[in-house]
Structure 1
């Protein structure tokens, strides 16, 4: 069995230090096979926030792969946002979309952020044709028999959470990824955990969203997902900080 710790929306600059220490302690004690971060490492994409995030992730001592979130684009500096939007990621460059060597499992990155959109709220998701083509190529190149997980920041379709993603191109991207063989899509952004089966592309794909380890909670306390991958299927457990018991999110078998 492969165990992934799926964490999102850590928001260094508005991080919950107790939640970070709790998560790091569980990583140390339980040694998951890998940690998958689905965006928003920072609050305002400041250098010091990226440096703090890099130091914390390196301290986990496990294989880590990171996808970009909308808060990881420069917020105040428009020149940097449009011309060099990912320059401040240099402290993390070894972890950004890092391939993971996991038996029977392939993690495929999909960028859902945009430097500019023709709408007022640029925090929402956008899947470009180029980003989708790159992800589809990686899905198709995955070894036969692998379970394929797509990692992106924004949910590709709405999952009934209080916050929304309104991802442009998301529904079509989800159908294409499902048809190509993706088993599940790991996301963040909405700060509440979920796991639903979604009919798409002529089949069914799992949509798995992680909560937050920041102070910016919504309906749920700070949490992350433990994703267990076995020959018999995929199980998602929301690991919740505090007195609330962990919750199995996995939907009933179809």
Structure 2
């Protein structure tokens, strides 16, 4: 089974010339499903959501998504407090924590947006327990992937503060079984196992950069392809240096589950 991972499209600050190459690359890759890890828009305005809706309506495969911090209002404080996800639900999807179950994998969506934090996110105890239950139920039979906007671990060079509850989530999920976390937010690429305090590497983290935004932060526009085979996964980074060249493979990583932990495949 093949998944495509997109994140941080940021309509309202997206490069319109990259939209056709991205759609062409997705059609050529022929994923079974597409996962979008939040930040569809820049400022949660109807005009921006209209562009985002037009884009997802043109996707060449079924898709699921979670919201990002930019998908809730920033300047409309009343809306941010009382109905922060109303525009997202109106334009993108009613469900902010969707679930996809197939013979090859389970993808569990996680809404990490937080109305009282304009940039950071939050994962609470109920969400941690729910995802741990998903991992325990499915990890022995199929790959479990968690889709969220905010990363659960990041390097010391990242200025953005790690979201609230992330360390507790990583430890709880490592105990539950092997899984993959798909995130965005940082506009950076990263693929590596996370090692828990008990020296377990049951978490494979995949941070994907921005698909369309002009805020590149020194990285190219990109998306990811994930091919799953039993208890193994192959991850490809697809990058575009500019609209004329389009998206092309720029790296490949292969991991497999060995004794409950992720390790590089031979």
Give how far 1:178 is off: 2.3
TM-score between the two structures when normalised by the length of structure 2: 0.85
Find the counterpart in structure 1 of residue 258 from structure 2. none
Contact 1:108 1:139 in 2 (8 A): no
RMSD (CA atoms): 2.3
Contact 2:122 2:164 in 1 (8 A): yes
Q: Please give the alpha-carbon distance, in whole angstroms, between the structure 1 residues aligned to 2:156 and 2:4.
A: 23
Q: Which moves more between the two structures, 217-226 or 159-168?
A: 159-168
SS at 1:246 equivalent: strand
Contact 1:14 1:43 in 2 (8 A): yes
Contact 2:40 2:49 in 1 (8 A): yes
Contact 2:104 2:229 in 1 (8 A): no
Q: Please give the alpha-carbon distance, in whole angstroms, between the structure 2 residues aligned to 1:165 and 1:34.
A: 31
Matched residue pairs, number?
249
Mark the CA change 1:159 to 1:5 in structure 2 (over 3 Å): closer, same or farther.
Answer: farther
- Which of these residues, 113, 118, 124, is aligned with residue 120 of structure 2? 124
Question: Which string of whole-angstrom CA distances, capped at 9 and with x for unpartnered residues, describes residues 53-80 of structure 1?
Answer: 1221121131111011110111111111
Find the counterpart in structure 2 of residue 145 from structure 1. 141
Give how far 1:132 is off: 2.1
Question: Which string of whole-angstrom CA distances, capped at 9 and with x for unpartnered residues, describes residues 158-204 of structure 1?
Answer: 14665535112101101112222241100000001110111127431
Structure number with the higher strand fraction is 2
Question: Which string of whole-angstrom CA distances, capped at 9 and with x for unpartnered residues, describes residues 198-242 of structure 1?
Answer: 112743110101010211101211011111211361121110113
Q: Which moves more between the two structures, 161-170 or 212-221?
A: 161-170
Contact 2:4 2:31 in 1 (8 A): yes
Q: Please give the alpha-carbon distance, in whole angstroms, between the structure 2 residues aligned to 1:9 and 1:31.
A: 21
Q: Unpaired segments of 5 or more residues in structure 2? A: 256-262
Alignment of 1:75 with 2:74, yes or no, is yes
TM-score between the two structures when normalised by the length of structure 1: 0.89
Mark the CA change 1:138 to 1:186 in structure 2 (over 3 Å): closer, same or farther.
Answer: same
Mark the CA change 1:250 to 1:164 in structure 2 (over 3 Å): closer, same or farther.
Answer: farther
Mark the CA change 1:160 to 1:7 in structure 2 (over 3 Å): closer, same or farther.
Answer: farther
Find the counterpart in structure 2 of residue 176 from structure 1. 172
Alignment of 1:105 with 2:116, yes or no, is no
Alignment of 1:253 with 2:257, yes or no, is no
Find the counterpart in structure 2 of residue 212 from structure 1. 210
Q: Unpaired segments of 5 or more residues in structure 1? A: none
